[in-house]
Structure 1
């Protein structure tokens, strides 16, 4: 005990000898700036009642800078012990300190105990809630602030708008917008960008665009917000057009801008534009933030360039779980189940990032599309056992149903659904119905189809698949009954659409298209192709036309499929030998898949087709999916 007292006395003597001359706030600042925060706190204790506002503020600012929770608490405790009455400013700084150190409860306690509050204090507390996802609490505070008679400033409005970015919050956002107009803040760039971001994230893209166009000046934040808004809503062509406009106006982009644009490129598989954006990123010499690298990986995988995607992935200095998931999903969509399994094994081996639910969805989906149902079931059993700490949810059970269905084990999939601990949702019944169509199991398909119509009567796909299933068996009365039900419920089938990028221009084709400017040339090419392909053994699969018409009419309907039109247009519009890249909004039909395989042989072209679920890379008549999709 004596030894401890001696050491403590020695320490105090050394401190006094070294820092005893620092008796002014300026010298206290020197202590803090030289990273001697502990000495400054000891000095604070020594001064006791002699501490003043400037000295408290100096030490507290250093605690905020270093996020030193213990140090800030000692300052706060000293204020209470000495019964120092903190100014409004110092009280707000204490609130900010607790907020910066993620001590939300303490921040609110300081806020509630403040004898008076200005707009800065109210805004700081709202910001604390908003950043942690407590939007309702922040909005509640905003209402209380207005009732207390405090006028909001631009930072208050910007903070509150971040709480209205989801669709349910759009009504609140509109009310806040009215207050902004009433208080004449709508022309303020900071508030305008926040309004724009709020509408874009809440799905009000037209309102967001109006605000964007009305802004007196635009910075990279406003451009990024509107581009991101279009991209997140799947309005990819609009997002890309805005990016072209940004470049024309000479505006610089940041890494968030590029990540948003790459999302749009991924959506329509615009590979040529994606390469150019990657070149822009390299020329701009931006740091390769993880979010940007993840976007590049996603873009290349969705454009069929897995080699480039893997190269970026392998060269990343830091990988998040999103990085791993993006690469795994890329392999999965291409049906490369063995690559999925290898990458997952590497993820476990490195043990730097823990797999999450999306990781296992990617793995199970990869096994489903890659004829590895045994491996998939093994992975699912590991999840059930809790090996990786991820409990399977409804999506994982859905992957197992899809896996069994694709493997032709429709009865086993049906039994699996019956034994599930969770109530099957529309996605699970949809997977089963799709498998029944592929494997012509009308009995189970009829059960699944009617369950789907009960669960989501507004989804046209359910009626169409069930109708097609009946048509396969020639049950035309049942087909007419389903179509009458669709008319009764005012449900319309989504038209098949395909897109192809030629010279950085995106061309759209619909089934039976007559509107494209070169549609006559396209149909002429189609007829020419059909003659050549039949010589190579291609025969239209008329069983895929599920209408009660003659064979000649069925063949004509097949030739009008959107992916065939896009493929013919690609052949007449691109140089010989150049790969053709097509994206479709629905699943590629069996006949169009066979057609594309023979075209790749006859015309000596690589064909990339990305449909709603899968990616097909066809070379010399062989598809990467192994005809299993």
Structure 2
């Protein structure tokens, strides 16, 4: 028996049959004698139908639910709005959206519960525009939304158009006096956070008279997703102190923030919270832990979690692959990718191949990376290469010094190259001092992205390395004219669960005098064992003495020196930089590792550098 008929033209296309979203097989059936006995009588009443439908809903028994629906039709029983709504809920829970919509469309009378049920059905499955259209139809019908309707429809206000409508819904919520309801407030702040309006989200949160785990989690996750990691962590601490009970989603948001901060000790502490709370091992939480430990420089912990997972999704594999790639562990990337393909349970996707190609690029395995890309283009892997994969090949060729070949590859691409791809080639031209191609690419980038300060900086570096100071000055004048501001370099280090931030030539730290003395002392002692400052890292046309002074003020050196002062011997020093680490600071860190016999971990915006005994895991190849 088939109950599905044609739905409205605007939503017909997504549903080819009554159960097209997910092929659902119930794990168990209702007791057949009980069902048969209940449906054998033609005088079945409301209570009988209600009891059986509730059982079908609870057990997601699709076939049995269809039989009940068929019996209602055959006996010409006129179900109430309540029973029809129960049918909508049943079909929705059994992933049969077409049947749910058919029942709804045949309802001559609808109440707020039936409207909310069908809006929720579309919203939960990602059909935001349909959910919003239904909400507008509901308002036109004269049915007043309740708190559950508002909370449901707000989850569909995600696109730019949806957000505009979401603001209008917020106004309606205020007029309807539902703004203080915790469900509605949580959905509101989640909507604002996802659109990047974190201050509006914070305002909604603070105005809630009652805050539950859902609203607390929504605001913490909002901060984390926008990269406001310290704010997310601070809020989590505050709410924990106020007695908030966290769930796995809360911890996932906090762990995401700790990933951005690379706060390993705090990450371990939160992980211990998770273990003590005996929260089930949800895959999304484990994936976040893999990512967090990886970004904190501890691949051993990442792999330990990965290896003990009962279930791995493609996101799990990708998190581990990206971790190895960022650490320059190209061989481990290839080994894990081989293991993934041999297992055949999870298929590689676009992100997988980005991680693999990037791993080959960072690991100096350019020929292997090119062969893998060839397998992609020939269809052997099952993932069609996109613009991002072509960009990885450009990066791979550029890092290995094959700048001219990378330039020719860009010209042969089936896509129009993006600014990111040109930027990758510009960076390679700077590293390998290819002024001709670098200048050509740089000038093109200044036209494509006139407001991107990074392009000006890299091109300035290239001119400075060639001694073309007049061109450097011209670029600086152009930046001033266009009001382009370079993002200031910032480094930070976590000591005793406290984050210490440093900027270039920083004088704000409480121990600034001690740090400055230490930096100068290190520079002198390192020169005695072979350290030579790389003055090409200074983009100012000044004498060598002044250039050395500028180098000593780099934020990485300040953070590294403070790490030596503030930590015990043999304790690893872990420093994070918001931009790329310069060559001179990289060399400086290698000497700290060698002279003081300390492991040094440097994480910049692109990758990790693990330095032991004066040797870096990147092989000086970044």
TM (norm. structure 2) is 0.93
SS where residue 50 of structure 1 aligns?
coil
Greater Rg over alpha carbons, structure: 1
SS where residue 61 of structure 1 aligns?
helix
Partner Cα distance (2:84, 2:307) in 1: 49
Partner Cα distance (1:336, 1:35) in 2: 51
8 Å CA contact retained: 1:165, 1:197: no
Deviation at residue 347 of structure 1 after TM alignment: 0.9
8 Å CA contact retained: 2:490, 2:579: yes
Which of 497, 517, 533 matches 2:490? 497
Partner Cα distance (1:430, 1:74) in 2: 62
8 Å CA contact retained: 2:29, 2:64: no
8 Å CA contact retained: 2:112, 2:146: yes
8 Å CA contact retained: 1:37, 1:62: no
Partner Cα distance (1:627, 1:39) in 2: 74
Deviation at residue 139 of structure 1 after TM alignment: 1.4
Map 1:416-565 to 2 at 5 A.
416-565=409-558
- 1:574 paired with 2:574, answer no
Deviation at residue 148 of structure 1 after TM alignment: 1.4
Partner Cα distance (1:484, 1:394) in 2: 34
Provide Cα deviations, 1:297-337, integer angstroms capped at 9, x if missing partner.
Answer: 11111111111111111111111111111111110000000
* Alignment correspondent of 2:10: none
Deviates more, 1:345-354 or 1:153-162: 345-354
* Alignment correspondent of 2:20: none
Provide Cα deviations, 1:476-532, integer angstroms capped at 9, x if missing partner.
Answer: 232222222222221111111111112211111111212222222211111111111
Partner Cα distance (1:453, 1:170) in 2: 33
Map 1:52-71 to 2 at 5 A.
52-71=45-64
SS where residue 420 of structure 1 aligns?
coil
Map 1:310-329 to 2 at 5 A.
310-329=303-322
Map 1:333-344 to 2 at 5 A.
333-344=326-337
8 Å CA contact retained: 1:404, 1:412: yes
8 Å CA contact retained: 1:367, 1:376: yes
Deviation at residue 65 of structure 1 after TM alignment: 2.8
* Alignment correspondent of 1:263: 256
- 1:360 paired with 2:353, answer yes
Map 1:362-441 to 2 at 5 A.
362-441=355-434
* Alignment correspondent of 1:151: 144
* Alignment correspondent of 2:235: 242
Deviation at residue 76 of structure 1 after TM alignment: 2.5
* Alignment correspondent of 2:7: none
- Number of corresponding residues: 596
* Alignment correspondent of 2:154: 161
Greater per-residue helix proportion: 1
Deviation at residue 39 of structure 1 after TM alignment: 3.9
Provide Cα deviations, 1:529-549, integer angstroms capped at 9, x if missing partner.
Answer: 111110110010111212211
Which of 92, 97, 102 matches 2:95? 102
Partner Cα distance (2:423, 2:35) in 1: 65
Which of 608, 618, 621 matches 2:614? 621
Deviation at residue 77 of structure 1 after TM alignment: 2.9
8 Å CA contact retained: 1:169, 1:202: no
- 1:125 paired with 2:118, answer yes
8 Å CA contact retained: 1:165, 1:202: yes
- 1:299 paired with 2:303, answer no
Provide Cα deviations, 1:459-483, integer angstroms capped at 9, x if missing partner.
Answer: 1101111122122212223222222
8 Å CA contact retained: 2:491, 2:502: yes
* Alignment correspondent of 2:198: 205
8 Å CA contact retained: 1:164, 1:202: no
* Alignment correspondent of 2:79: 86
Partner Cα distance (1:371, 1:170) in 2: 45
8 Å CA contact retained: 2:286, 2:305: yes
- 1:253 paired with 2:242, answer no
Provide Cα deviations, 1:134-179, integer angstroms capped at 9, x if missing partner.
Answer: 1122112112211211111110010011112455533322221111
Partner Cα distance (2:30, 2:194) in 1: 45
Assess, with a 3 A threshold, how the Cα gap between structure 1 residues 44 and 389 changes in structure 2: closer, same or farther.
farther
* Alignment correspondent of 1:15: none
Assess, with a 3 A threshold, how the Cα gap between structure 1 residues 285 and 398 changes in structure 2: closer, same or farther.
same
Deviation at residue 37 of structure 1 after TM alignment: 4.5
Partner Cα distance (1:592, 1:377) in 2: 32
8 Å CA contact retained: 1:410, 1:432: yes
Partner Cα distance (2:191, 2:501) in 1: 31
CA RMSD of aligned residues (A): 1.7
Deviation at residue 422 of structure 1 after TM alignment: 1.3
* Alignment correspondent of 2:21: none
Provide Cα deviations, 1:554-593, integer angstroms capped at 9, x if missing partner.
Answer: 1111111111111111111112221111100111111110
SS where residue 136 of structure 1 aligns?
helix
Q: Which runs of 5+ in 2 are unaligned?
A: 1-25
Partner Cα distance (2:408, 2:235) in 1: 50
8 Å CA contact retained: 2:395, 2:424: yes
Q: Which runs of 5+ in 1 are unaligned?
A: 1-31
Deviation at residue 235 of structure 1 after TM alignment: 0.7
* Alignment correspondent of 1:11: none
